[in-house]
């Protein structure tokens, strides 16, 4: 018989190959449905069948993970409110960034008639602001409650999105969009900076790899779902529109940004109670 320590090490070294295969298959089928839904119709039999298969695979994964000794995804992590808050924050961040930013480009080129170089120049301050705000967010994290920092970032996202939605018309000056674009970028940088740290701080250090993998996977899933859901919103405003193309594109992009502002507000409402002082480790004295 192996010593207890050896048994523990052997258990920790095992890989849940079945769970890994189910997770990969579920994500693959879900992404396939989201990516092809635009072409074959989101309510088509092919799309609904693919989504059903993805849901069935994910349900099988959940059942399996509750029964194996070394799960690839430990669902017990989500019993910690702060970890759940961090997971929601990163998911919503990618929904907004991965989904919403696509329609900035659509609007700039399709409605304002900017060329790719002009579009890139207009978006450059957004990415610069996001990187700078990410550094600022890390410093704020050490001084304030992380939930408040993340919520503050999402409030900036909501303000930036709502302002852009109001401004998106075929005749607006691109310079007028600079300030709300900067606010949007600052919000993304501040909201995203402390998320991984929160997830790591409230879980066992031995599960660092699982935590990082879970958060990263949720980011990818959020980007795919954001693109699909906000894409459906955009299409509903532009498909068959009688207005000139520039006006229809502006209307569709504006609606997407209003939805993004609403999602950012929802993120604030979820993050504040979950990543609160009572749900975080007490600082060492």
pLDDT for the residue numbered 215: 84
Q: Both 180 and 141 in a single domain?
A: yes
Digit-coded pLDDT (tens) for 103-124:
888 899 999 999 999 999 999 8
Q: Could you tell me if residue 285 is inside a domain?
A: no
Residue 282's CB is within 10 A of a number of other CB atoms, namely 7
Q: Both 51 and 119 in a single domain?
A: no
Q: Both 47 and 95 in a single domain?
A: no
Count of structural domains within the chain: 2
Q: Could you tell me if residue 284 is inside a domain?
A: no
Q: Could you tell me if residue 267 is inside a domain?
A: yes
Res. 167 pLDDT band, cuts 50 70 90:
very high
User: Which residue did the predictor score with more confidence, 154 or 216?
Assistant: 154
Give the Cα separation of 139 and 37 in Å (integer): 41
Nearest-CA neighbor of 60 among 29, 14, 15, 89?
A: 29
Q: Both 30 and 81 in a single domain?
A: no
Res. 38 pLDDT band, cuts 50 70 90:
low
Q: Both 241 and 116 in a single domain?
A: yes
Q: Both 114 and 222 in a single domain?
A: yes
Range of the domain at 30: 1-72
Res. 184 pLDDT band, cuts 50 70 90:
very high
Q: Both 60 and 128 in a single domain?
A: no
Q: What is the CATH number of the domain that holds 269?
A: 1.20.1250.20
Give the Cα separation of 6 and 236 in Å (integer): 59
Digit-coded pLDDT (tens) for 69-85:
777 777 788 888 999 99
Digit-coded pLDDT (tens) for 229-263:
888 888 888 876 666 788 889 999 999 999 999 99
pLDDT for the residue numbered 108: 93
Q: Could you tell me if residue 208 is inside a domain?
A: yes
pLDDT for the residue numbered 242: 64
Q: Decide: 260 and 230 in contact? Cβ < 8 Å.
A: yes
User: Which residue did the predictor score with more confidence, 265 or 139?
Assistant: 265
pLDDT at 195 over 90: no
Q: Could you tell me if residue 248 is inside a domain?
A: yes
Q: Which of 27, 53, 72 is the last residue of a domain?
A: 72
pLDDT at 266 over 90: yes
Q: Could you tell me if residue 151 is inside a domain?
A: yes
Res. 33 pLDDT band, cuts 50 70 90:
confident
Q: Both 183 and 52 in a single domain?
A: no
Q: Both 185 and 89 in a single domain?
A: yes
Q: What integer best gives the mean pLDDT of the chain? A: 83
Region 265-281: mean pLDDT is 90
Q: Which of 22, 53, 72 is the last residue of a domain?
A: 72
Torsion of CA 12, 18, 20, 23, to 10 degrees: -140
Region 145-171: mean pLDDT is 93
Q: Which of 72, 99, 117 is the last residue of a domain?
A: 72
Q: Both 68 and 194 in a single domain?
A: no
CA distances from 25 to 28, 65, 201, 224 (A): 5, 15, 30, 15
Q: Could you tell me if residue 145 is inside a domain?
A: yes
Q: Both 20 and 85 in a single domain?
A: no
Q: Both 11 and 127 in a single domain?
A: no
Percent of the chain residues past pLDDT 70, beyond the cut: 90
């Amino acid at each position: 018989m192996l010593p207890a320590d050896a048994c523990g090490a052997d258990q920790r070294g095992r890989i849940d190959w079945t769970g890994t295969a189910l997770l990969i298959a579920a994500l693959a089928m879900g992404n396939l449905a989201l990516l092809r839904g635009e072409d074959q119709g989101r309510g088509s039999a092919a799309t609904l069948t693919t989504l059903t298969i993805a849901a069935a695979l994910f349900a099988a994964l959940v059942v399996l993970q509750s029964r194996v000794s070394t799960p690839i995804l430990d669902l017990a992590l989500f019993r910690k409110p702060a970890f759940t808050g961090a997971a929601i924050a990163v998911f919503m961040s990618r929904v907004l960034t991965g989904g919403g930013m696509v329609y900035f480009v659509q609007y700039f080129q399709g409605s304002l008639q900017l060329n790719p170089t002009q579009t890139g120049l207009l978006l450059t301050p957004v990415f610069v602001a996001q990187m700078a705000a990410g550094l600022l967010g890390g410093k704020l994290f050490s001084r304030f409650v992380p939930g408040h920092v993340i919520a503050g970032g999402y409030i900036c996202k909501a303000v930036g999105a709502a302002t852009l939605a109001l401004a998106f018309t075929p005749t607006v000056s691109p310079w007028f969009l600079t300030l709300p674009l900067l606010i949007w970028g600052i919000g993304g940088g501040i909201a995203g900076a402390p998320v991984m740290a929160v997830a790591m701080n409230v879980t066992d250090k031995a599960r660092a790899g699982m935590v990082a993998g879970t958060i990263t996977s949720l980011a990818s899933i959020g980007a795919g779902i954001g693109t699909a859901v906000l894409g459906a919103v955009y299409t509903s405003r532009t498909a068959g529109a009688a207005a000139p193309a520039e006006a229809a594109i502006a209307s569709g992009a504006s609606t997407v940004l209003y939805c993004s502002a609403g999602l950012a507000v929802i993120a604030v409402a979820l993050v504040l109670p979950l990543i609160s002082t009572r749900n975080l480790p007490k600082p060492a004295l």
